Amino acid sequence: MIRLEVGVFAHNEARNILKTLTGMARQEATGLDVRVLVLANGCSDDTVDLARTFAEPHNARSLNIRIEVIELAEGGKSRTWNRFVHELSRSDADVLMFADADIELPASDSFLRLVRQSISRPELYVVNSKPIKDIVYRPSDLGLKDRVIAMGSGTLSDWKKAICGQLYVMPAVKARCFHVPIGLPVEDGFIRAMILTDVLTIDEDLSRIDGDDVFHIFASERSILSLIRHQTRIIIGSAINSAIYGFLSEIPSAQRRAVLADAAKNDQWLPTVIESRLPQWPYGWIPIYYLIKRVSFIAGHPRKLLQPRQLATLFLGLGFDFVVYVNAQLKMARGVGAGHW
């Protein structure tokens, strides 16, 4: 029996938690001993009550999948990641699954397939589920704005070699080799870098991460303002992660894991690093890469320029990237760029 611990990261997810738990409760669990932990962190809505109301009758009838609700007073996804990995998950767990509380699982064998690939390929640290926007999965009655957003879906990254924090699994013994600084805006990018480089001690080893033919659905941003806010957080988080990498690279490699273990307990560690490393001359708080990355990607894939759809997305995206870049610079300059979520 493979012991699977599922951490469902929930911060004010009353609108979505029942949909997510319904998809998890109906998963096939042959050969699995599954414990789903709803990690309700810093919630001020009805997330906890709704999750407990769902869990009680489910647990009374389910043999292999048990749902437990854990109410955590302190919010923050990176803080909660540390607690799930190092404190709350069963010490004898074989595989840890990391899931957001606002996703859909259309297939009933998602758990089984992700776990089986993780177990059967011991060289892997992470097995990803493929993220699909709801407007791509259900492309009906879409306006022009939604169609443009759907057109840009998945054009700039290889999901199999990234980590999408919405849904992925790790062998428990490997996950427990890592800690995440409290307060990271983009924790999955940081985790990916630490895994691929073994905490900045080796060159990136992309063979440590892969994806199975499993997918989940997430709600796409539907307004321009919400999309700008989302992307602003992403590039701020990426810039902060880069600053941390620079800080860690100056520390002897044998000490880096201990430093990160401290950062996972110390709320002031990340602000101190940001203050010491940012802004950087001549680009300020956010490196110029985040303004030109779309052009750089297309330059490396010239055939895409021959396709009208990609060409149109490029020009629209360039304007969008400029707005996000300026917004991120302003937020960091005002001291409001970093945050838990």
Judge whether residue 295 has pLDDT over 80: no
pTM: 0.88
Spatial separation of the C-alpha atoms in residues 113 and 294, rounded to whole Å: 33
Using CA atoms in the order 338, 296, 214, 152, what is the torsion angle rounded to 10 degrees? 80
Predicted local distance difference test score (pLDDT) of residue 220: 77
State mean pLDDT over 139-161.
60
Please report the domains of the chain, with CATH numbers, ordered by start residue: 2-333 (3.90.550.10)
| Helix and strand counts by DSSP (H, E) for the chain | 13, 8
119-123, 220-224, 326-330: least confidently modelled range: 220-224
Judge whether residue 308 has pLDDT over 90: no
Using one digit for the tens of pLDDT, what is the confidence trace for 228-237? 888 898 899 9
Judge whether residue 219 has pLDDT over 50: yes
Predicted local distance difference test score (pLDDT) of residue 226: 84
Predicted local distance difference test score (pLDDT) of residue 269: 96
User: Band of the pLDDT at 340, cuts 50, 70, 90?
Assistant: very low
Using one digit for the tens of pLDDT, what is the confidence trace for 2-25? 999 999 999 999 999 999 999 999
> Taking the mean position of all CA atoms in its chain, how far away is CA 53?
27
Judge whether residue 164 has pLDDT over 60: yes
Q: What is the mean pLDDT of the chain?
A: 89
User: Band of the pLDDT at 227, cuts 50, 70, 90?
Assistant: confident
Tokens of 37: 């932990």
Predicted local distance difference test score (pLDDT) of residue 149: 52
Judge whether residue 242 has pLDDT over 60: yes
| Top-confidence range, 140-144, 201-205, 286-290 | 201-205
Judge whether residue 140 has pLDDT over 80: no
State which amino acid sits at residue 203. Answer: D
Judge whether residue 341 has pLDDT over 50: no
Spatial separation of the C-alpha atoms in residues 226 and 80, rounded to whole Å: 24
Judge whether residue 306 has pLDDT over 60: no
Judge whether residue 146 has pLDDT over 70: no
Predicted local distance difference test score (pLDDT) of residue 156: 44
Nearest CA-CA partner of 24 in 104, 96, 91:
104
Judge whether residue 119 has pLDDT over 80: yes
319 against 31, higher pLDDT:
31
Predicted local distance difference test score (pLDDT) of residue 304: 53
